[in-house]
Amino acid sequence: MILSVEQVTIGSRQKKLVQNVSLAIQKGEWFALVGQSGSGKSILSQAVGQMLAPGLNVEGNIFFNGQNVLKLSKKEMRTVRGRKLSYIFQDYQGSFTPFRTIGQHLDEYQKAHGLHSPQARMAGVREALQSVGLSEELASCYPFQLSGGQLQRVSIAMALLLAPDLVIADEITTALDSVSGNQILELLARRQQETGCAILFITHDWRHVRRYADRIAVMKEGEIIESGGKHRILDHPQHPYTKQLIKAAPVLKHGLPSGLQEEGKA
């Protein structure tokens, strides 16, 4: 068990944004968290890394690798962030400090986690860029010189730089066109196979869920209304809201929503 969220409630004084949510992510699996905008998906994912905005309180327990992250000190948290747990965000433009090169970004994060030899860090930068199919020369480029797809590739390289146990991918394809989006997900899936990390994949796009997810949880208004294996959720949804969501994303091919072919119809 990589991540176990137990009875977590998040909210400010006025309003509860996430209510009594529990979920568990196994080692190396692709866990999709699906829901409309504003359903609390991102808030929940931010709570895992203690990244919530000030003013939001968390109740409950979040165990990451057996440690309760909500009880860790700031300093201990810094050793977890980036090293064991990393994030990829939707906004690839905003994810990079504009006046630092790609190489400087990658270098800095290795340095922050105790890689002191510059040669080793340089090698790490090169390897990271190659692993996502980019040329090494991009290391000396500034973020605005790269295209959206390239930037999102660098984000993936950055997230996987120190071989974390869990990557939280928060709507990473939303700002990309569908071709680049698919390439990014292919890449993420390939890198997941290579590194064996678990992925918490936050999305509202059923196509991606259908193709990549192992397990799914559906969130609505701060609560998880249904969760289970991909085929169970997609082919036999229990909750009316899940049914509604699946119906709203029709499949062109014959067969079940999860992509399985029904017997005799293939």
Partner 1 sequence: MRCFSMQLPKGKKHNWQGAAAVLTLAAVLAGTLYAFFYLRHDPTLTNMSGRLQGMSLKHPLGTDHLGRDVLTRLFLGGQQTIGSSFLALLAALAIGIPSGLIAGFKRGWVDRVFMRIADGFLAFPDTIVAIVLSGLLGPGIGNLVLAIVMVKWVSYARLVRSTVLSESQKEYVLIARINGLSARKIMCKHLFPHIAGNVLVLASLDLGKIILLISSLSYIGLGAQPPTPEWGAMLNDARPYFQSMPALMIYPGLAIVLVVLLANMLGDYLYDRFDVKRRGSHDFIR
d(C-alpha 169, C-alpha 166), whole Å: 10
d(C-alpha 30, C-alpha 94), whole Å: 25
Binding map of partner 1 across residues 219-238, x = CB under 8 A, - = no contact: --------------------
User: Of the listed pieces 74-82, 191-199, 203-211, 237-245, which binds partner 1 according to CB under 8 A?
Assistant: 74-82
Residue whose tokens read 């909500």:
70
d(C-alpha 255, C-alpha 266), whole Å: 8
Q: Which one, of 57, 82, 77, 64, lies nearest residue 23 by Cα? A: 64
Q: How far is CA 205 from CA 37, 100, 219, in A?
A: 11, 33, 13
Strand order, beta sheet including 198-203: 85-88, 166-170, 198-203, 30-35, 215-220, 223-229
CB of 79 vs partner 1, minimal distance in Å: 7
Binding partner 1 by CB under 8 A: which of 30, 31, 64, 96?
96
d(C-alpha 218, C-alpha 225), whole Å: 6
Binding partner 1 by CB under 8 A: which of 30, 31, 109, 212?
109
Q: What residues from 48 to 67 belong to the interface with partner 1 (CB under 8 A)?
A: 49, 51, 54
Binding map of partner 1 across residues 142-161, x = CB under 8 A, - = no contact: x-x-------------x---
d(C-alpha 178, C-alpha 176), whole Å: 6
Which helix (H) or strand (E) is 172 found in, with range?
Answer: none
Q: Give SS3 for 4.
A: strand
Binding partner 1 by CB under 8 A: which of 7, 12, 97, 130?
97
Structure token pair of residue 232: 């169970």
d(C-alpha 145, C-alpha 150), whole Å: 10
Residues 6+ apart with CB under 8 A from 143: 93, 96, 97, 98, 100, 102, 151
Would you count residue 94 as binding partner 1 (CB under 8 A)?
yes
User: Of the listed pieces 13-21, 47-55, 186-194, 250-258, which binds partner 1 according to CB under 8 A?
Assistant: 47-55
Closer to partner 1 by Cβ: residue 71 or 99: 99
Closer to partner 1 by Cβ: residue 43 or 218: 43
Would you count residue 95 as binding partner 1 (CB under 8 A)?
yes
Binding partner 1 by CB under 8 A: which of 66, 98, 250, 264?
98
CB of 216 vs partner 1, minimal distance in Å: 25
d(C-alpha 76, C-alpha 89), whole Å: 23
Closer to partner 1 by Cβ: residue 108 or 127: 108
CB of 41 vs partner 1, minimal distance in Å: 16
By CB under 8 A, the count of residues binding partner 1 is 27
Binding partner 1 by CB under 8 A: which of 35, 64, 81, 209?
81
Contact set with partner 1 (CB under 8 A): 49, 51, 54, 78-83, 86-87, 89, 91, 94-100, 108-109, 112-113, 142, 144, 158
